[in-house]
Structure 1
Amino acid sequence: MDGYDDLHRFSISEREKFWVSVKDFVGVIAETWGDDVLVDGDRMPGARWFPDARLNFAENLMRRRDDGDALVFRGEDKAAARMSFAEMHAAVSRLAQAFAAAGIEPGDRIGAYMPNMPETIIAMLAAASLGAVWSSCSPDFGIQGVLDRFGQIEPKLVVAVDGYHYNGKTHDCLEKLSAILAELPTVEHCIIVPYTRDAPPLDDIANGILIGDFVADFEAGEIAFRRLPFNHPLYILYSSGTTGVPKCIVHGAGGTLIQHMKEQIIHCDVKPGDRVFYFTTCGWMMWNWLASMLSAQATLLLYDGAPFYPDGNVLWDFAEAEGMTLFGTSAKFIDALAKAGVRPIDTHDLGALRLITSTGSPLVPEGFDYVYEAVKQDVHLASIAGGTDIIGCFVGGNPVGPVWRGEIQAPMLGMDIRVFDDDGKAVVGEKGELVCTRAFPSMPIGFWNDPDDAKYRAAYFERFDNVWCHGDYVEETEHGGTIMFGRSDATLNPGGVRIGTAEIYRQVERFDEVVEGIVIGQEWDADTRIVLFVVLRPGLTLDDDLEAKVRARIRANCSPRHVPARIVQVTDIPRTKSGKITELAVRDVVHGRPIKNAEALANPEALDLFKDLPALGA
């Protein structure tokens, strides 16, 4: 083979040989692999990888037990911690024993309402060691946002923090947690991790116990890793909730592990002893991705808080102090740094830094310019894209290839991606739908509460038969790169964070004054901002007081990221003949694009209400 392109072609044409080579090269630990690599490989969904293998995810992440740094944590300027691999092993051992004593068995769900801190990693590893299923939300989620997720999966145990720090302020979580637990009757134990105070009160926390008391009766020792089938459920992640409550996406231990190890050890060139950072919350799949870096025997650099508090240098201070080798972030953060005039190349020693990864939204060409001019000239900048749906990447970095300004370098190994036009024809040099035409190991093993896979099929396989349609609007360049143009559906993506419109509607339409609302993402300043349109009761006008109340409710019950940048009053909302509001048509009108489906609308005249609105020009 001569170069990356040949290797990628091999990874597609000889995919069974390729994935066997991957698991051998990266060193996946398994009790057995069995004889079969892939069964029903032409079915999507339905293909089964390594059906006779037995392994444990946590065992693969806990190879080291030495005194080197495993977890290094900063929580703004309020907290700092450092834990060795030996200390992490001991902590996981004690917590796993406590989980088992509390009745946790393979397949039980453990919900986490936690920041990105060492205790979260430890709890996930303890859960995975037993074969429990881990699912996490970040503590800035409001009550309804958590219930929309955990209410579906019925956790047996919840791990939660007492509060968190953000932008110099301390936020209490116990009142929200009490209300959440009141609606989760399946929770038998709630383990509280003190963070903002030493002894948080537990009077109102049903079945609550401090983590120190929970593990007090157990001594550290060897961990009895439960080796389970390749597709044993490991994580439940969540869709954005565009059309209702979020879909619960179930990912298997083996597929997650082999995909992450391929991406991290091969594509990111992570080596033992590297020090890896990703700015993420526990409500984003990049937290799960970051945790897997332990399988490469790397140190995890964990940060929780605002990325610009007290200023835009805070994460670069962390990078310099810890000898960071991989800096993971979002395109929006890179854009914000550029606008703030932050120049780490002039102020920080980033000699150890080899790779910067950017995801969440398209990295514009000017973002590439900024990194190489103001951060580091000889760094590998890898824009990457995939999603919660596959807990990994379709396209990303190639450590042996050139970086093209404004492009993602290459399709990931083992991922048979194409760009399809509306007729399902593969195109190059034209915009179209990002698709994957052959099965891969990190496809979801299913959706929760979807026994016949109806929701699963509807999510990815309705557009093109037996082809994964990802919902990204992209272009493949002549040299094999990918240019991202954003989501092709109505999902909102401010700052690269996927937000579902239904989550916002559920809050807005609780106001008596509001008859109905419709929300879109407006392309603005190299990003997307949320714009909410509301129809009020006759005779009412949107004033500052009502607007403030709407923002406050969305912030409290969803998250700060859900809060609209603009709220605009309109008198009608376009809808289909079946009565459904149509975000895509409104979005097209706002952006001055032609309407493709006006004939499907019951009231197409309503579209005129959204044209050339002064409120959206600033």
Structure 2
Amino acid sequence: MSDPLWRPSPQRIAGANVTRFIDCVNARRAAEISDYDGLYRWSIEQPAEFWIELARFADVRADWGTGLALMDGDKMPGAAWFPGATLNFAANLLRFRDSTEALVFVGERTGRRALTYQQLFSEVARVAQGLRAAGVEANDRVAGFLPNIPEAVVAMLATASIGAIWSSCSPDFGINGVLDRFGQIEPKVLFTADGYFYGGKTLDSLASMTSVVSQLPSVQRVVVIPFASAAPSLSSLRNAIFYDQFGVAANDIDFAVLPFNHPLYILYSSGTTGVPKCIVHGAGGTLLQHQKEHLLHTDLKRGDRMFYFTTCGWMMWNWLVSGLATGATLILYDGSPFYPDRNVLWRLAESESITIFGTSAKYLAALEKAAARPGAEHDLKALHAILSTGSPLLPDSFDYVYQHIKEDLQLSSISGGTDIVSCFCLGSPVLPVYRGEIQTRGLGMRVEIVDESRQSVRGESGELVCTAPFPSMPLGFWNDPDDKRYHAAYFERFQNVWHHGDLAVLTEHDGIVILGRSDAVLNPGGVRIGTAEIYRQVETLPEVAESIAIGQQWRNDIRVVLFVRMQPGQSLDDSLRQRIKDTIRTNTTPRHVPARIVAVPDIPRTISGKIVELAVRDVVHGREVRNVDALANPEALEHFRNRPELSA
């Protein structure tokens, strides 16, 4: 058994929220839980009791009514959580009304701007009044095409206070990408900024929005936030008004009292294989799940200052904003994480005394490749946790964090998705961190790794599934009245079981290693290989910046093809090809070794930064990529078309 990279101190364990939660459960339920493992077992064996106790511990503001906490708990889909309860999501996030900073915003070209909890409440009250005056009612849709600015949070909370449904895209989406999403849900009000900043450039949004609004007849009002300029012209937008003129000041908010499962958000799948799925999430389930993950897994407390590098088009934005329910301070940043240099986010961490720093695995890998030393160059004494998601965190990145950022912190690689607006596997402040592993499965989540016959396995790769209902399951897909597409997406592979589509391993430590997406799995000679198994080897080589692997149909079989993007000044020659193959063979198996290794100048990715194996596979095989508008850099696909290296 390998030694952990980090163990929490006895003092940290004693002061953790999850330790207090165990004490509360033992006192209230006469349970005899002594540690996290015991709590996890109890949470999946007694799910209704677990979520009731979580709601009490988190002080969720709701009328719980009477009746069962879980109805039809043997049905997936079909289970209903707290069917007799009512609440308002925004009321729970706005429970504090004091001078503590709620939001701190820093942008690439903008100075620091903060809103206290009292100021945030007042802003939400004003914008909610504006929405009501614009005719917005419960179940109407309100959309945002916004950078990661405080006004986005205000607009979302105002929307939720009424019981309308919030949906957002980041401003780097193209016109067709926005229409593919907002065109399906028909928003009544649209919030947009006039532009945004990224990588030292000023980028316009109003031209895009003019085109979008002209093709969205449902939009009755456009609210424009001057961000890139002080006084943008609204002449090209119909029914447009400036943000500071929208609504009138109000002392209170008339929070709509709504069923527990009232729709809150519409989020979108990546759309790389067709029109994006519009995933509807409920208010109560989202609130409970996020409270659990913040309090018990991230150890978020009122005095914390939490940051996540995200856009409004990624579910981590929704996840971050829920941190307001704890009374913590949220740090928002909009811009490039590498402009004007690679230390910009660490200067932010130092100046804002960030305690919880959220980012992506790709960002940490890029810092490692650049030999960045944040721990030596910045005062990070406040930092006690780093969260990473978006793709599997490579073992070398674990080493890098502890060697060059900070020795004493909880490193939480987390994994879940837009589908559940939360996590299946994530961290724990009271458990050790092992190299290359996600610490644990989420409390209340009966997560298993299963083989083709649906038997649970440990120590070998299998499909990540959840075999019991959980509160943040989607309410369904928009415009899917019979739930046919919803059922096909998650419940077709295994009956009455959520099939998430990740290939993973459950380790001896009860940790999880994600090997990649099941639909991108490589299958040479009938052996299933997760792409992440290859990436974690290739990207240890200093010459390689990034890689992407596919399975190419070849002579009645599948062969592994690896594409690499080189570091500046590096080139791919036969010597490096052999080193890549040797590294893969030594650390995995001969089956993992690519038959072809090809250099490309760029690799296509989604707007949220995920590489797209399926799109590359389609191009290599001469098939049409169904929705290139879902890509941040669709032109990169051309680097994979008609490659002579792949015809022999």
TM-score (norm: length of structure 2): 0.79
Residue 239 of structure 1, aligned match among 242, 250, 269: 269
Aligned partner of residue 181 in structure 2, secondary structure: helix
- Deviation track 1:343-401 (CA, whole Å, cap 9, x = no partner) reads 11111111111110001100010000000001000011010000000010000001111
Residue 63 of structure 2, aligned match among 6, 9, 31: 31
2:292 corresponds to: 262
- Counterpart Cα distance in 2 of 1:523 and 1:415: 36
% identical equivalent positions: 54
Q: Tell whether the 8 Å contact from 1:143 to 1:558 is kept in structure 2 after alignment.
A: no
Q: Tell whether the 8 Å contact from 1:191 to 1:208 is kept in structure 2 after alignment.
A: yes
Aligned partner of residue 264 in structure 2, secondary structure: strand
CA 1:421–1:95 in 2, change beyond 3 Å: closer, same or farther? same
CA 1:528–1:97 in 2, change beyond 3 Å: closer, same or farther? closer
1:570 corresponds to: 642
1:593 corresponds to: none
Please tell me the residue identity of whatever aligns with 2:279: I
Aligned counterparts, 1:306-325, within 5 A: 306-325=336-355
- Counterpart Cα distance in 2 of 1:443 and 1:185: 31
Please tell me the residue identity of whatever aligns with 1:107: N
CA 1:562–1:377 in 2, change beyond 3 Å: closer, same or farther? farther
CA 1:4–1:113 in 2, change beyond 3 Å: closer, same or farther? same
1:451 aligns with 2:451: no
Residue 84 of structure 2, aligned match among 52, 74, 80: 52
- Counterpart Cα distance in 1 of 2:322 and 2:357: 15
1:402 aligns with 2:432: yes
- 1:75 Cα offset (Å): 1.1
- Counterpart Cα distance in 1 of 2:63 and 2:45: 28
- 1:80 Cα offset (Å): 3.0
- 1:528 Cα offset (Å): 4.5
1:85 corresponds to: 117
Please tell me the residue identity of whatever aligns with 1:430: E
Please tell me the residue identity of whatever aligns with 1:344: P
Q: Tell whether the 8 Å contact from 2:109 to 2:197 is kept in structure 1 after alignment.
A: no
Aligned partner of residue 281 in structure 2, secondary structure: strand
2:514 corresponds to: 484
Aligned partner of residue 115 in structure 1, secondary structure: coil
1:465 aligns with 2:516: no
1:145 corresponds to: 177
Please tell me the residue identity of whatever aligns with 2:118: A
Residue 333 of structure 2, aligned match among 285, 288, 303: 303
Q: Tell whether the 8 Å contact from 1:532 to 1:567 is kept in structure 2 after alignment.
A: no
1:198 corresponds to: 230
- Counterpart Cα distance in 2 of 1:352 and 1:86: 25
1:103 aligns with 2:175: no
1:508 corresponds to: none
CA 1:528–1:101 in 2, change beyond 3 Å: closer, same or farther? closer
- Counterpart Cα distance in 2 of 1:236 and 1:115: 18
Listed as ranges, the gaps of 5+ residues in structure 1 are 496-519, 538-549, 572-608, 614-618
Aligned counterparts, 1:156-235, within 5 A: 156-215=188-247, 218-235=248-265
- Counterpart Cα distance in 2 of 1:562 and 1:470: 26
Aligned partner of residue 500 in structure 2, secondary structure: strand
1:439 aligns with 2:511: no
- 1:422 Cα offset (Å): 1.3
- 1:423 Cα offset (Å): 1.5
- Counterpart Cα distance in 2 of 1:294 and 1:430: 39
CA 1:477–1:535 in 2, change beyond 3 Å: closer, same or farther? closer
1:560 corresponds to: 632
Q: Tell whether the 8 Å contact from 1:522 to 1:528 is kept in structure 2 after alignment.
A: no
- Counterpart Cα distance in 2 of 1:42 and 1:301: 40
Aligned partner of residue 560 in structure 1, secondary structure: coil
1:331 aligns with 2:331: no
CA 1:610–1:446 in 2, change beyond 3 Å: closer, same or farther? farther
Please tell me the residue identity of whatever aligns with 1:468: W
2:161 corresponds to: 129
Aligned partner of residue 43 in structure 2, secondary structure: helix
Aligned partner of residue 366 in structure 1, secondary structure: helix
CA 1:303–1:535 in 2, change beyond 3 Å: closer, same or farther? closer
- Counterpart Cα distance in 2 of 1:276 and 1:563: 36
Please tell me the residue identity of whatever aligns with 1:278: Y
Listed as ranges, the gaps of 5+ residues in structure 2 are 1-32, 523-529, 533-559, 566-583, 585-609
1:354 corresponds to: 384
Please tell me the residue identity of whatever aligns with 2:45: S
Aligned partner of residue 191 in structure 1, secondary structure: strand
Aligned partner of residue 35 in structure 1, secondary structure: coil
CA 1:442–1:523 in 2, change beyond 3 Å: closer, same or farther? farther
1:388 aligns with 2:460: no
2:98 corresponds to: 66
- Counterpart Cα distance in 1 of 2:324 and 2:356: 13
Please tell me the residue identity of whatever aligns with 1:7: L
CA 1:196–1:522 in 2, change beyond 3 Å: closer, same or farther? farther
Q: Tell whether the 8 Å contact from 1:521 to 1:529 is kept in structure 2 after alignment.
A: no
Please tell me the residue identity of whatever aligns with 1:327: F
- Deviation track 1:462-507 (CA, whole Å, cap 9, x = no partner) reads 0000000000010111221101111111499999xxxxxxxxxxxx
- 1:532 Cα offset (Å): 7.3
2:323 corresponds to: 293
1:416 corresponds to: 446
- 1:438 Cα offset (Å): 0.1
Aligned partner of residue 167 in structure 2, secondary structure: strand
- Counterpart Cα distance in 1 of 2:96 and 2:620: 58
- 1:233 Cα offset (Å): 0.1
1:342 aligns with 2:379: no
- 1:77 Cα offset (Å): 3.0
CA 1:521–1:214 in 2, change beyond 3 Å: closer, same or farther? farther
1:41 aligns with 2:73: yes
Q: Tell whether the 8 Å contact from 1:494 to 1:529 is kept in structure 2 after alignment.
A: no
Please tell me the residue identity of whatever aligns with 1:145: G
- 1:443 Cα offset (Å): 0.2
Q: Tell whether the 8 Å contact from 2:270 to 2:630 is kept in structure 1 after alignment.
A: no
1:582 corresponds to: none
- 1:66 Cα offset (Å): 1.0
CA 1:521–1:302 in 2, change beyond 3 Å: closer, same or farther? farther
- Counterpart Cα distance in 2 of 1:522 and 1:104: 51
Q: Tell whether the 8 Å contact from 1:31 to 1:227 is kept in structure 2 after alignment.
A: no
- Counterpart Cα distance in 2 of 1:521 and 1:255: 42
1:273 aligns with 2:330: no
Misfit runs of 4+, over 6 Å? 491-495
Please tell me the residue identity of whatever aligns with 1:6: G
TM-score (norm: length of structure 1): 0.83
- Counterpart Cα distance in 2 of 1:267 and 1:155: 35
Aligned partner of residue 501 in structure 2, secondary structure: strand
- Counterpart Cα distance in 1 of 2:91 and 2:633: 35
- 1:414 Cα offset (Å): 0.2
1:586 corresponds to: none
- 1:111 Cα offset (Å): 0.8
CA 1:561–1:48 in 2, change beyond 3 Å: closer, same or farther? farther
